[in-house]
């Protein structure tokens, strides 16, 4: 089969790769679309903190935001059949380790990982695929994984009816958090984003105020929107360390700050304990999306997802995928094998 294979930092090419076959409890999916995640360029360039040096030196196929059609099923697979349209989770928990048994499946010690979806075919554990309703296209299905991340963000960000929310970054996760915040009852939402096209889309999707943080005073505008108080929740989804720190100046008393992006492994953000104490703040972060996929699947037809897909690029042009991402103007790029 054709697959985009990484062979060393910055080196990715489409080449012939052995076509995988499902094990007893697995399904083989003919990939229709696979979204580019913000972690993918970091993995390609050897900057992603969760990938060890040994792992980065091994030839590998990445890509984890996939949709497609089941091409084969393992002998023990009972819940799916060939021809079904599905969206996929890139990992499935073992269900038996300490963390799986204590409501922390995203920290499973023995997870099953998919084979990588920048390819014609990928293999998934049966529990990691979700049948798509007839009214959900395969393009929209490829957004199931990022929607699940936004669901998890909403779970931990303490968003409730009538609250105020600030979001930094209007990429895929930031915009999905915007939509989830509004559906969770947020009454005032500000989105901070330096790219004009992304600000315009955030406004279209329901943000009350959009701000260019490089040209406008974000803190002053935030105070105006919240009657001088600051926000109940601040979600940082840009990956900017400056934005992660600035969240402290945007938050109100008893507020919740959520760091919902990937940051350099050795980076630090200073947080004054006395400031935390005096405002009784909560700072959270999210890592993948436990127990979120079924609810994300229910939300797919309720969200405005089509405007988020800015590019669909053939697998054979995989280098163009990463070049387009570098421009900073794309939102969700789908790779089509």
End-to-end Cα, the chain, rounded Å: 10
**12: burial class by Cβ within 10 Å (0-12, 13-18, 19+)?**
buried
Please answer whether residues 67 and 138 qualify as being in contact, where contact means their C-beta atoms are separated by less than 8 angstroms. yes
Per-residue pLDDT tens over the stretch 207-233: 999 999 999 999 999 999 999 999 999
Per-residue pLDDT tens over the stretch 230-281: 999 999 999 999 999 999 999 999 999 999 999 988 889 999 999 999 999 9
Q: Enumerate the domain spans of the chain.
A: 2-143+305-336, 149-285
Q: At what angle do helices 172-183 and 144-156 cross, to 10 degrees?
A: 60
67: part of which helix (H) or strand (E)? strand 65-73
pLDDT at 50: 67
Mean of pLDDT values over 189-202: 98
pLDDT at 58: 84
- Cα–Cα dist 81/79, whole Å: 7
Per-residue pLDDT tens over the stretch 20-67: 999 999 999 999 999 999 999 999 988 886 665 455 578 999 999 999
Token pair of 60, please? Answer: 């590998």
pLDDT at 55: 55
Of the candidate ranges 50-54, 175-179, 226-230, 297-301, the one whose mean pLDDT is the lowest: 50-54
pLDDT at 195: 97
For residue 129, the SS3 value is: strand
Q: What percent of the chain has pLDDT over 90?
A: 93
For 114, half-sphere exposure in the C-beta direction (CA atoms, 13 angstrom radius) is 29
Name the average pLDDT for the chain: 95
For residue 330, the SS3 value is: coil
Q: Does the pLDDT value for residue 128 go beyond 90?
A: yes
Token pair of 168, please? Answer: 């930094």
pLDDT at 266: 86
Residue 55: CB partners within 8 Å, gap ≥ 6? none
Nearest Cα neighbor of 322 from 2, 1, 31, 9 is 9
- Cα–Cα dist 65/310, whole Å: 15
Q: Which CATH number fits domain 149-285: 3.40.50.11540, 1.20.1060.10, 3.40.50.720, 3.40.30.10?
A: 3.40.50.720
pLDDT at 51: 61
Q: What percent of the chain has pLDDT over 70?
A: 97
For domain 2-143+305-336, the CATH class is: alpha beta
Alpha helix ranges (H) inside the chain: 39-44, 53-57, 138-141, 144-156, 172-183, 196-204, 218-225, 241-250, 273-279, 293-299, 318-326
Per-residue pLDDT tens over the stretch 92-115: 999 999 999 999 999 999 999 999
Higher pLDDT, 46 or 187: 187
pLDDT at 312: 98
pTM for this model (two decimals): 0.95
Ordered DSSP codes for 189-238: EEEE-SSHHHHHHHHHTT-SEEE-TTTS-HHHHHHHHTTTS-EEEEEE-S
Radius of gyration of the CA atoms of the chain, in A: 20
DSSP letter assigned to residue 127: G
């Amino acid at each position: 089969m054709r697959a985009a294979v990484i062979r060393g930092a910055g080196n990715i090419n489409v080449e012939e790769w052995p076509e995988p076959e499902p094990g007893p409890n697995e399904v083989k999916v003919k990939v229709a679309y696979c979204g580019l995640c913000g972690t993918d360029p970091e993995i390609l360039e050897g900057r992603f903190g969760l990938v060890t040096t040994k792992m980065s030196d091994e030839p590998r196929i990445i890509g984890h935001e996939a949709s497609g059609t089941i091409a084969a099923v393992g002998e023990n697979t009972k819940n799916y059949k060939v021809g079904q349209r599905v969206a996929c989770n890139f990992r499935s928990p073992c269900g038996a380790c300490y963390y799986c048994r204590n409501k922390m499946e995203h920290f499973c010690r023995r997870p099953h990982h998919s084979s990588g979806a920048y390819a014609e075919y990928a293999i998934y554990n049966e529990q990691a695929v979700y049948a798509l309703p007839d009214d959900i296209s395969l393009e929209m299905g490829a957004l199931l994984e990022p929607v699940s991340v936004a669901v998890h963000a909403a779970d931990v960000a303490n968003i409730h009816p009538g609250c105020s929310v600030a979001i930094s970054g209007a990429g895929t996760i930031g915009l999905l958090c915007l939509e989830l915040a509004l559906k969770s009852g947020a009454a005032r939402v500000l989105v901070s984003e330096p790219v004009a096209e992304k600000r315009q889309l955030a406004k279209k999707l329901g943000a009350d105020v959009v701000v260019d943080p490089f040209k406008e005073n974000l803190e002053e505008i935030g105070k105006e929107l919240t009657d001088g108080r600051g926000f109940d929740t601040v979600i940082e989804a840009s990956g900017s360390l400056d934005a992660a720190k600035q969240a402290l100046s945007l938050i109100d008393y008893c507020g919740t700050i959520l760091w919902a992006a990937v940051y350099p492994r050795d980076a630090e953000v200073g947080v004054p304990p006395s400031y935390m104490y005096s405002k009784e703040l909560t700072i959270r972060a999210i890592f993948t999306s436990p127990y979120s996929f079924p609810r994300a699947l229910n939300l797919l037809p309720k969200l405005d997802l089509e405007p988020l897909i800015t590019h669909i690029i053939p697998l054979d042009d995989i280098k163009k995928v990463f070049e387009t991402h570098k421009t900073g103007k794309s939102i969700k790029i789908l790779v089509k094998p």
